Amino acid sequence: MPIYRAPVDDFRFVLNELLEVEKHRDLPGFEELSPDLLEDILVNAGKFCEEVLQPINQSGDEEGCHFENGVVRTPKGFKEAYKAYTEAGWGALAAPTKMGGAGMPMLVALMVGEMAQSANQAFSMYPGLSGAAASALGATGAPWMKEHILKRMIAGEWTGTMCLTEPNCGTDLRLMKTRAVEQPDGTYRLSGTKIFISGGDHDLTDNIIHMVIAKIPDENGKIYDDLSTVNFFMVPKFLVSEDGKMDARNGVATGGIEKKMGIKANATCVLNFDEAVGWRLGPKPTPPKPGEKRSASAGMAGMFGMMNAARLGVGVQGISVGEVAYQNGFAYAHERRVGHALTGPKEPDKPADLEIVHPDVRRMLLHCRAFVEGARAVAMWTTLNMAIAESDRPEKDTAGLLGDIMTPVIKAFFTDMGFEAANMAMQCYGGHGYIRDNGVEQFVRDARINQTYEGANGVQAMDLVGRKLGRKGGAAPMALFGLISGWLGENEGDENLAPFVKPVKRGLDTLQQATLWLAQHGVQNPNDAGAGAVDYLRMMGIVVLAWMWARMAKVAQAKLAAGTGDKTFYEGKLVSARYWMERMIPECPMLFERIQAGSATIMAFEPATA
């Protein structure tokens, strides 16, 4: 049976020694964040994930969700686990206190979310997506919605969904067909079909609040293949009156649940909206004047806010699956005996040595650990920057730029690497990894969706290259490069840090050259930007993690020199940091060479015709 142990020690390290969270008490939500409170949250959340969520992960995958007579039921144990989760308040940590939440920083919710997702990704998606939907409702909803609906969502009494994808429309929202027709009372009637809706229906709560995007037809009933009339709507499964009373079933029916590769314990539904009552969130679209270009509706703003929160959460899922997969691969490598060490038997009295003696097994495990711990630090640093961006600090604008540019990198690079880590951990098992009994193959299946949903990773790469790099005259990449360059300048004279500083500098130099190349060639030929976007995003991810590893190496060296703390822990940090510098930074020149190849060969490819 698979195992999971919450990485509380690593969270402590990043919080206290790398980010020095004590210095950020001036930020909103950080005022009461004492070391004792943080310790209590981490230890108890970790214990909950280990003892309640992890034991039903494999069984939930094997049983899956059930769809019978239009009703969805979750696997055995999920209702009880959800009740315990909400009663403990784990889903309400970052919600405002006036809405019934704990008012903690998003940084705290991120750590708890990572542990929950490692323990049981399918389960964690129910409260996780509810949190994103609740944030959107809190930002755009009417006062009565916040009082009578949002509070119930934060308490976990009701859940929420994100309803974007349609059978003929995924990322390209211009092609959406779901329509919302305004009624005399100011509500709307929505008709259409949404697919791939995670947590779209279930038996965990009495009501589900669907956050839906749809098009408002013009006075002739026509909808257009553009974004000019797209708006954001709240559509509850059961109607809710403005005084908070739950009423009749709304016109939302579950057409079925998807038969999926992974996350089988999460009900991914087809939802049919048949004159369903909805409430518009955000401004009503203004019809364009004659001859005026039809531009994106302001009503999409709430949707983008919800999507960005979800993208950060999905990136953390990449860390989560990498962590639990690594733990299981590591444990198996210390149990399985196969062959002898290349330098001679380590245990001559045994028929074979433990698998961990072999270099390639260690390579795979170290690859997983270096990614997971580096990515965790980057995600927490980015989340801290997002908090600074909401503060009154002078650096808030720069912090906002950093959060903005890192969002697609975290979503795409972390989920790509999480899938790599799951595959490597499974490889440590050999043929036994392919067998369901051992449970590690579930991590591979569950990890695969993370690269696809909330905007496929190729789309994230194009968002980075096509929008984030050039926005505000390139302010975001300049802020990031300046921050890394400044740190390198401060530490380049430290000989002990040279094995970390020099590789980061090489990586940053290559990344800056690639940025300039894309800026020059992408304007001349947009296909060149499209062809190089994925490689560029990976390069940025490698370099940012390398910089974070260099920072962690500096902390570890200082602790070892002072003789304080756990020596083995800090030595392990240095090993992981060196691995990233030696094995990942060398990818940067290769990635740049591929970027410079441009798009000619790729675009010369034509599908074979009959």
Which residues, other chains included, contact 513 with Cβ-Cβ below 8 Å and sequence gap of 6+? 592
In this structure, the dihedral spanned by the alpha carbons of residues 150, 156, 157 and 162, taken in order and rounded to 10 degrees, is: 60
- Distance, CA of 368 to CA of 333 (rounded, Å): 14
Alpha helices in 49-120 (DSSP H): 57-63, 78-88, 106-119
Ramachandran category for residue 199: left, alpha or beta (phi over 0 → left; psi -120 to 50 → alpha):
left
Tokens at 194, concatenated: 């949404």
Amino acid at 207: N
How far from chain centre, in Å, is Cα 605? 33
Of 323, 471, 454, 307, give the one whose Cα is nearest residue 400. Answer: 471
Amino acid at 147: E
DSSP state, residue 429 = T
| Angle made by CA atoms 161, 164, 170, in degrees to the nearest 5 | 140
Which residues, other chains included, contact 291 with Cβ-Cβ below 8 Å and sequence gap of 6+? none
CB 411 within 8 A of CB 375: no
- How far from 577 is each of 15, 375, 573, CA to CA, in Å? 18, 12, 6
- How far from 543 is each of 32, 318, 366, 566, CA to CA, in Å? 34, 18, 18, 28
- Distance, CA of 319 to CA of 312 (rounded, Å): 11
Please indicate whether residue 454 is annotated as part of the active site: yes
Q: Please tell me which residue in 114, 258, 323, 454 is annotated as part of the active site.
A: 454
Which residue has 């927490």 as its token pair? 380
Q: How far apart are the first and last CA of the chain?
A: 50
Report CA Rg, the chain.
25
Of 183, 175, 161, 293, give the one whose Cα is nearest residue 234. Answer: 161
Phi, psi angles (nearest 5°) of residue 589:
-60, -40
Of 550, 564, 543, give the one whose Cα is nearest residue 497. Answer: 550
Which residue has 């990818």 as its token pair? 587
Largest CA distance in the chain: 88
Other beta carbons within 10 angstroms of residue 294's beta carbon come to 14
Which residue has 């920083």 as its token pair? 105
- Distance, CA of 282 to CA of 308 (rounded, Å): 17
Tokens at 149, concatenated: 């609906």
Give catalytic residue positions.
454
